[in-house]
Amino acid sequence: MRIAQLFLASLALWLQVVQAATIPIDDDDFELRQLTEDNFRASVAQGLWLVEHYSPKCSHCRAFAPTWTRLAKDKRHLERLSGFHMAQVNCLAQGDLCNANGIKFYPQLVLYSNGQPLPAYSGDRSYDDLAKLIDDQSTLYARGQLLDSKAEQEVVSSGFGRPNPEGKVLEVDESGLEVLIGNGPVLVDFFAPWCAHCKKLRPLYEELAGSLKSKINVAAVDCEAHHSYCRKHNIQGYPTIRLFQHDSHTDYNGPRTVTKMKAFASKAIETVTLQTIKREDFDDIVESNDAFFLYLQNFDTALSDLEAVKSMLEPLRNSISAYTSSDPLLYQNLSIANPPPTSSLLAFSAPDRLPVGTLAFPASKDRLERFVNLHRFPTLSQLSASNHQEIMKSPTRAVVVLGAVHKGAEGEKERQKLEQIARAWKRGGRSFAQPVWFVWVDGERWSAWLRQAYGIKKKSLPAVVVIDPPLSEYYDTTIEGTSVEFDGSSVFSVLEGFYQHFLRPKRSETSLEWGSRSATMTLITLSQASMDHPILAFFSVVGSVAAFVLWLYRNMKKDPREGRELTGGSRLD
Ligand SMILES: *[C@@H]1O[C@H](CO)[C@@H](O)[C@H](O)[C@H]1NC(C)=O
C-alpha cells in the first residue's frame, strides 16, 4: 500500500513539475482611484502619478472616460513594477485642490513624479498615445529614480548616514566601536599612546581616513584607556590594524603605506554583496556566470527583505555572484512584468536566460536559506577537485545526486538529460530540509572509484545514485524496489523514498575507502594538471598507482573490516 502511494506521489510530483503554471488575473476588485484634498499630497508624494482632473458636467470628460478606465486596468501592474499610479480628481467637488493644481480646462492630465508636476502633457488623449506615454515615463522613472531612491533609503535607514562623512579617524571606546561595526565595514587601529610605531603610523592613518571619505569608517581605539576591551579582542601587539566586516575580522599585516592600506580596506566595499544592474547589463551577466542570484526589487519592496537577502548571500559572495535590479525593462525581458511578482529572489544557471528558481517575498528566513542553498551551484555541475570539498562535505548536509556518464557525444546527451531532471527538481521538487545538488562525473575515467564507492559498473553507464555524504551512505533503488534508472521519475522516486526514510541505504565506505577516495582526488587533480604538464602527469600517475598498489597490498594482509555493505536493519533516524 505504502509503496503504491509513494510511487504515485513521486510520479505525480514529476508530472506536476514538467507542466508550466499560469497565473489568472481577476478583474472583479478593480476600481478607479479618486483623490481629494485630504489625501492628494500624501498620495502623489511617492511614485509616478498620472492624475485626471475632470468635471462630471464636461462632455469631453465623459467621452474620455472609457479610455481612462481601460488604461487604468491595463496599466495596473505598473503600480508595483515601477510605482506608476493613476487617479482622478473631481473638480466640481474639489474646487480648491484643482485651483491649487493650476487646472485650466477639463479633462486635464498632470503627471507627478514624487509629488512634483512634470511639464504638461499636450499630446493626444487616444489610448495608444497615452499608453506609450505611460510606458515610457514609468520605465524612465523606475530605472532612474527608483534605484537611486532605494540606494538613498538604504543609507539613511541604517540610522548612521554615509560612512566616514568627514574623512577623519574616529576615536572610539568599546560601545562606539560596537556601533560602528553594526553599521558596516570599519577599519580600526588598536594603539597605545607610548608605542613609537603607533605614533609613526598616525599621520598616515589620518591620510588614509581622508582617502576613504564616504566609503568606509576608520576608527582608532586607545588600548591603554580600554585595556580589557583590547584584551577581549585578543590584541597581541601595537599597532594592530584590523578590518571588521559583518561577523568576522581580518588583520592587516602588509607594509604601512597609505596605498597598501587603502587597497586592503577597499576590498571590503568593492565586493558588495548585491551589485545593482540594469537591463543592458544582463546579457553579459548570463554569459559570464555559471550560476548567479538576482534580487528583483520593485516599488513596494520592504527594506527588511533586502537586508535579509543580503545577509544570506554575504557568506557566499566569493563563490557565487549576486545582483539586484528594479529595472522594468529587465522584468519585461524575463517575461515577468505583467503581473509583476512581489519582490523576488531569482536563481539562474547557465546557459539559460530564464530563472531555475524563484522565491517570492515575504519569505521566512528558513525558506530563504533553503532556497539559497538549493541554488548555490549550477543546476548540474561536474564534480571536480575544486568543488569536491564544498559539495561532499557541506555543512548544509546536502543530498547529492551523482550521475556517471559516458565519454564524448553520448555523454553529452546524458548530461543534458541529467540536467533536465535537475532542473525539474529545482523548479518543482518537494522542498527538503537539505538541499539536493546534482553532479556528474566521467563514468569511464572514474570507473574504478565508482564501482568501489557506489557499485556502479562500467557497463551500466549512464548510471545515477543518490548520496547522503555525511553518513557515507547512498541509495540506488527506487521505492518500487527496482534499480534506479537514468530518468526523471526514477530519480524522483529515489529522492522521495530517501526523504520518507523508506529506502535502505548502502554504505559507500568499503574497506578501500581511504585509498579509493584519495586516489580519486589525486586523479581528478591530475587530470587538470595533465593539460599543462603531460609528462609530469604521466609519471605522477605511474607513481601514485604504484603507491596505491603497495598500500592495498599492505592492507590486504591486515585483518580487513567485516561488512562492506549494510545488509540488515534500517536507518537509525
Ligand atoms: C530578452 O533579451 C534577449 C537577448 O537580448 C532577447 O533575445 C529576447 O528576445 C528578449 N526577450 C524579451 C521577452 O524581451
Please check whether residue 464 lies inside any domain of the structure: yes
Q: What is the DSSP string of 503-544?
A: SPPEE---TTHHHHHHHHHHHHHHHHHHHH-HHHHHHHHHHH
Please check whether residue 279 lies inside any domain of the structure: no
Please check whether residue 124 lies inside any domain of the structure: yes
With a cut of 60, say whether residue 224 has pLDDT above it.
Answer: yes
Residues 24 and 13 grouped into a single domain:
yes
Distance 336 CA to ligand 1 centre (A): 12
Nearest CA to ligand 1 atom 5: 283
Residues 228 and 97 grouped into a single domain:
no
Distance 374 CA to ligand 1 centre (A): 27
With a cut of 80, say whether residue 568 has pLDDT above it.
Answer: no
CA distance readout (Å), 116 to 48, 49, 81, 387: 9, 10, 20, 53
Please check whether residue 158 lies inside any domain of the structure: no
Please check whether residue 149 lies inside any domain of the structure: no
Question: What residue ranges line ligand 1, CB within 6 angstroms?
Answer: 283, 332-333, 335
Nearest CA to ligand 1 atom 8: 333
Average confidence score pLDDT of the chain: 80
Q: Which residue did the predictor score with more confidence, 314 or 510?
A: 314
Q: Which three cell numbers stand for residue 116?
A: 512634483
Q: Which three cell numbers stand for residue 43?
A: 498620495
Confidence at residue 525, expressed as pLDDT on a 0 to 100 scale = 47
Q: What is the CATH number of the domain that holds 223?
A: 3.40.30.10
Residues 210 and 172 grouped into a single domain:
yes
Query: Which pLDDT band holds residue 86 (cuts at 50, 70, 90)?
Result: very high
Distance 305 CA to ligand 1 centre (A): 28
Final residue in a domain of this structure, among 344, 375, 406: 375
Please check whether residue 483 lies inside any domain of the structure: yes
With a cut of 60, say whether residue 484 has pLDDT above it.
Answer: yes
Confidence at residue 45, expressed as pLDDT on a 0 to 100 scale = 86
- When pLDDT is averaged across residues 198-226 and rounded to a whole number, the result is 91
The whole-angstrom separation of Cα 444 and Cα 417 is 18
Number of the ligand 1 atom closest to the C-alpha atom of 335:
13
Distance between the two ends of the chain, CA-based, in angstroms? 22
Confidence at residue 147, expressed as pLDDT on a 0 to 100 scale = 44
Q: Which three cell numbers stand for residue 534?
A: 603531460
The whole-angstrom separation of Cα 224 and Cα 216 is 25
Q: Which domain holds residue 55?
A: 2-142
Confidence at residue 570, expressed as pLDDT on a 0 to 100 scale = 32
Residues 217 and 319 grouped into a single domain:
no
The whole-angstrom separation of Cα 525 and Cα 410 is 24
Residues 320 and 358 grouped into a single domain:
yes
Final residue in a domain of this structure, among 337, 357, 375: 375
Residues 258 and 366 grouped into a single domain:
no
Cα 535 from chain centroid (whole Å): 42
Q: Which three cell numbers stand for residue 390?
A: 564544498
The whole-angstrom separation of Cα 508 and Cα 244 is 42
Residues 329 and 427 grouped into a single domain:
no
Residues 381 and 519 grouped into a single domain:
yes
Q: Which three cell numbers stand for residue 332?
A: 519585461
Nearest CA to ligand 1 atom 6: 333
Question: Structural domain tally of the chain?
Answer: 5
With a cut of 50, say whether residue 543 has pLDDT above it.
Answer: no
The whole-angstrom separation of Cα 75 and Cα 72 is 5
Residues 385 and 361 grouped into a single domain:
no
Residues 75 and 176 grouped into a single domain:
no
The whole-angstrom separation of Cα 223 and Cα 240 is 10
Distance 303 CA to ligand 1 centre (A): 30
Residues 304 and 442 grouped into a single domain:
no
Please check whether residue 505 lies inside any domain of the structure: yes
Final residue in a domain of this structure, among 324, 354, 375: 375
The whole-angstrom separation of Cα 374 and Cα 312 is 13
Residues 520 and 385 grouped into a single domain:
yes
- When pLDDT is averaged across residues 363-385 and rounded to a whole number, the result is 90
Whose grid coordinates read 603531460?
Answer: 534
Please check whether residue 277 lies inside any domain of the structure: no
CB 474 within 8 A of CB 380: no
DSSP secondary structure letter of residue 146: I
Nearest CA to ligand 1 atom 2: 333
The whole-angstrom separation of Cα 52 and Cα 109 is 5
CA distance readout (Å), 304 to 261, 310, 311, 398: 33, 10, 11, 28
With a cut of 90, say whether residue 12 has pLDDT above it.
Answer: no
